[in-house]
Structure 1
Amino acid sequence: MKINFFKYQGAGNDFILIDHTKDGLNTVDNKLIANLCDRRFGIGADGLMYITSHNKFDFEMHYFNADGKLGSMCGNGGRCIVAFAKHLRIIDKETNFLAVDGPHFARISENGEWVDLQMINVDDVKLDNDAFVLNTGSPHYVAFKDNLKNFDVFAEGKKIRYNETYSKEGINVNFVEEQRDHLFVRTYERGVEDETYACGTGVTAVAMAVAKHKKQSGHVKTDIKVLGGDLKIEFDYNDEKFSNVFLCGPAKLVFEGEFNVR
């Protein structure tokens, strides 16, 4: 049996997308998903998503990490699936869809290549020594680093992800360096178990951690640079709660094709 797929990327965070709006999502083959995400023996991706129909929302997002396991919220994946929904003509300029962490609103540009995705509100930010720990749909650890360009994100991120505190549930590990007009961010992602070119929930967590660290308040706008390009974060912050949170950036179709399922 041949299955049609679409490959999307959002600031270098890449995903395999499959349309299940017509036949529904009846079974999940975790091994197959992991094989498809493999960069040498499969299509290659940071994750895979199914888009399915929903009777109360425009669609529902089902996200799987590159290891084949069901994942928590993926911000760049959410932006890419919005672009995919526009490509499928499920939506036009705006949408309300359901993800694992709840409902999400999004706006998409006319050409379908820029998406502003509303993220969940956050009111719980903890400290782990000098690092910040918070959940923006996925759990994140945020640490400040100098000379981040030459930092070993894979080795140091893996140490934190698998340390005694976080090894059981896992955590995404973000390192940030403040520049004159933007934040430079690199992320080690659980489920991928490697550094990725971008992480949407990660840069959202970083922008919040920096706002808290610098005691910013009101409407905060933050420009982010990641290995795969540029992203923007906006939110309202009143010293206790982050609300009206938007992750903004590119979401582009790379190619489409078919794979065989035996």
Structure 2
Amino acid sequence: MKINFYKYQGTGNDFVMIDNRLGTFPKEDRKRIAYLCDRKFGIGADGLILLEHCEKSDFKMVYFNSDGNESTMCGNGGRCIVSFANFLEIIGNETTFSAIDGLHHARIKGLMVDLKMQDVTEIKAKQGASFLNTGSPHHVQIVSDLSQFNVVSEGAKLRYGLYGQEGSNINFVEEKEHGEFFVRTYERGVENETLSCGTGVTAVALVMHHLGMTKKNSVKVHVLGGGLAVTFAPMDKGYEKIYLIGEAKQVFKGEVQWNS
């Protein structure tokens, strides 16, 4: 079996992207998805994304973590699939697409993609940290000397110890100059640190505003893979008009073959 694929990345968060509008990809085969994401035996990626036909929007996004399991919303993946849809000439400079957490609006200009995220209506205090859902569950914890922090070890402890088998993504954040922040994320499903996590960056920006660490409604967040911006409007309870903004790039395309 041969499948054409494209490789995309957004601030170092990388994805195998497949046009599945004909519905031929065997998405029930979790082992095969994990194989495609494997960096030594497959293509290599933090996740795999299928672009599918959708009756109620321009297209549908189906996202799998690198362990082969279908997962919750991926912000950087959402930005990358918008770029992919534009490349395939399915959309122009604006789109509305369907994902596991509902409809998303997005705008694209060159390499920059502005992705509208779902409203957030609750931020919970959680053992010296904050917890919220930005399409995926996120733990946000302030630490010092983040560049030297053991994100994998400490993230795994919290991911399993505090949140159990279902787990949560774990974000460690440090305040920088000029109201900007640096974040490193341990992602469930990848079970490792990634260079960037879009829903995690969104969560960090909202929590920093919620805690009064910034008064801005446009927050710059630095990750190991680059920089992203999050804009939002506060509500009486929570936040609305949330946009995740950053570059999304096609890296290469190819054909992968395996035995049935």
TM-score, length-scaled by structure 1? 0.95
**Distance in 2 between residues matched to 1:185 and 1:166, nearest whole Å:** 20
Equivalent in the alignment of 2:187? 189
Per-residue deviation at 1:117?
Answer: 0.1
The yes-or-no answer on 1:104 pairing with 2:101 is no
Distance 1:139 1:154 in 2: 18
Measured on the aligned residues, the alpha-carbon RMSD in Å equals 1.3
- Measured at CA, do residues 71 and 158 of structure 1 come closer, stay the same or move farther in structure 2, by a change above 3 Å? same
Report the alpha carbon displacement of residue 23 of structure 1 after superposing the two structures with TM.
3.9
Residue number in structure 2 paired with 1:81 = 81
- Deviation of 1:86 after TM superposition, in Å, equals 0.3
Q: How does 1:177-216 map to 2 (within 5 A)?
A: 177-181=174-178, 182-214=180-212
* Offset from partner CA, 1:99-138 (integer Å, 9 cap, x none): 00000000001x3x11000000001110112200000000
- Shift of residue 215, structure 1, vs aligned partner: 7.0
5+ residue gaps in structure 1?
none
CA contact (8 A) 2:123 2:238 kept: no
Secondary structure class of the residue paired with 1:137: coil
Q: Determine if contact 1:58/1:90 at 8 Å carries over to the other structure.
A: yes
Q: Secondary structure at the match of 2:217?
A: strand
Specify every segment of 5 or more residues in structure 2 that has no aligned partner in the other structure, as ranges. none
* Percent identity for Structure 1 against Structure 2: 52
1:29-48 mapped onto 2 (5 Å cutoff): 29-48=29-48
2:122 maps to what in 1?
Answer: 124
Does structure 1 retain, via aligned residues, the 8 Å contact 2:27–2:33? no
1:17 aligned onto 2:14: no
Q: Secondary structure at the match of 2:14?
A: strand
The corresponding residue for 1:161 is 159
Q: Deviations over 1:191-214 (max 9, x none)?
A: 000000000000100011111111
Whether the aligned pair in 1 keeps the contact of 2:156 and 2:186 (CA below 8 Å) is yes
Please give the secondary structure, in 2, of the residue aligned with 1:162: helix
Q: How many residues align?
A: 258
